[in-house]
Amino acid sequence: MDERLKRTEWFRHDRFGMFIHWGLYSIPARGEWARGSEQIDDNTYYSYFNQFDPYAYDAREWARLAKSAGMKYAVLTAKHHDGFCLFDSALTDFKATNTPAGRDLVREYTDAFRAEGLKVGLYYSLIDWNHPAYPAYQHHSHPHRNNENYKNRRPFTEYIDYMHNQVKELCTGYGKIDIMWFDFSYGDMCGEKWEATKLINMIRKYQPDIITDNRLEVSGEGFGSLATENPLIYSGDFVSPECIIPPEGIVNTAGCAIPWEACITLNDNWGWAPSDNNYKDESVVIRKLVECVSKGGNLLLNVGPDATGRIPEQSRNILTNVGRWMDGHSQAIYGAGKSDYTKPEWGRYTQCGDTVYACVMDFPVGPLALPGIPAEKIDYCRLFPGGSELKLYNDWRTSNYAGIAYVNIPRYDMYNKIYTVIKIKLKQ
């Protein structure tokens, strides 16, 4: 088996994770790009550093919320583009332990999430708006891109050393890390510019089973060499489409499905932004999760904890409701993937071996047609939650539609709830 498929086995099984964007930017509270997009000067930004006091941060609460939502893994921003580190790096002073927080916030996260049985991932920004060797003047999104005083920078190799050594700290100081989520490449800042071969070899030495996204090579829209038949060593293990679900999943140039994970915001921002109330409600989240799975992908759904360290109430409520659905229907998600059968008009099929899950999102009038699945191929059907028997069904209404299998969803199960799942066991 291809080493990437082997490494991603758990990942392709688990399907649903929590993305956590948290850092100093939770104080200005206009999303995680504020330092760059608003070109905030250093004094102002460092004042947030001196004020960062997330007294309500309780990683166990975050972990319990993720778990109760049915999420199986998480990815926390150990360092975002602003350069601020949530972990106690020996290589910088710009870290949480030097703020009023005074704690290694990454360690609390890795400990707490593992304790809840979740896999732990770390996001690490390749871009760094704080490091003196990172290109600044007229460069991309840098907060000092219009300031001539930032023309002369220290040699870029100093940044590469710093970045590699910080990744090493994360790979050696926090136990088993399941995902290293790099962000992101652009222009000629990609691949070997990051000394990516050396970086990946180092990571694998300390974390042989770790999986990585594809952004050492590309950014949120790119596939990279992972989608070719000869991926580079640093191509990553999965494609990371950002705020989009690929129309038909993702295949490589040979037509083979490759792992992918859509990362999606819950409102319209990654970092805490209280003025943004454009939340996706639980029914949207559930539909999007089912959509990802039905196309062979994962969903990494974001939360942006606030400046006190709490996950916003709206997000908590939505996730709790998603969890209520997951509780009775998650067999359509875990271990499932793309179905052999074409998408039905009322929802989506997911599939695991010889079991198809019909996720019914638009309830029928009368019996439900199971298009594409011949009646004689069906061993039995079960209705979830609960697992009660659901017989193939025909009456005078279906008599003109020969060749289509029907089931009759009991009235009590319709209209009054979000999405039903029907398990359809196929004959061998």
Nearer to ligand GLC, 22 or 419 (CB): 22
When asked if residue 238 is in the footprint of ligand GLC (CB under 6 A), the reply is no
When asked if residue 263 is in the footprint of ligand GLC (CB under 6 A), the reply is yes
Nearer to ligand GLC, 32 or 178 (CB): 32
Is there a contact between 376 and 365 (Cβ–Cβ < 8 Å)?
no
Per-residue contact flags (x/-) with ligand GLC for residues 166 to 185, judged by CB under 6 A: -----------------xx-
Count of residues touching ligand GLC (by CB under 6 A):
10
CB proximity list for 192: less than 8 A, separation 6 or greater: none
Nearest-angstrom CA–CA distance, 194 and 161:
10
Nearer to ligand GLC, 79 or 348 (CB): 79
Nearer to ligand GLC, 239 or 405 (CB): 239
CB proximity list for 91: less than 8 A, separation 6 or greater: 162, 165, 166, 169
When asked if residue 290 is in the footprint of ligand GLC (CB under 6 A), the reply is no
When asked if residue 111 is in the footprint of ligand GLC (CB under 6 A), the reply is no
Q: How far is the CB of 196 from ligand GLC (least distance, A)?
A: 17
Of 64, 116, 220, 334, the residue at the interface with ligand GLC (CB under 6 A) is 220
φ and ψ at residue 114, rounded to 5 degrees: -60, -40
E strands present in 4-157: 16-20, 73-79, 119-125
Footprint (CB under 6 A) of ligand GLC, residues 141-170:
none
Angstrom distances, CA of residue 218 to CA of 10, 139, 202: 24, 18, 20
Nearest-angstrom CA–CA distance, 278 and 318:
12
When asked if residue 62 is in the footprint of ligand GLC (CB under 6 A), the reply is no
When asked if residue 242 is in the footprint of ligand GLC (CB under 6 A), the reply is yes
- CA-based nearest residue to 43, from 31, 55, 35: 35
φ and ψ at residue 376, rounded to 5 degrees: -70, -15
Nearer to ligand GLC, 125 or 420 (CB): 125
3-state helix, strand, coil in the chain (%, to 5): 30, 20, 50
Nearer to ligand GLC, 80 or 423 (CB): 80
Of 14, 32, 108, 178, the residue at the interface with ligand GLC (CB under 6 A) is 32
- CA-based nearest residue to 348, from 296, 298, 276, 303: 296
**Residue ranges binding ligand GLC (CB under 6 A):** 21, 32-33, 183-184, 219-220, 242, 263, 270
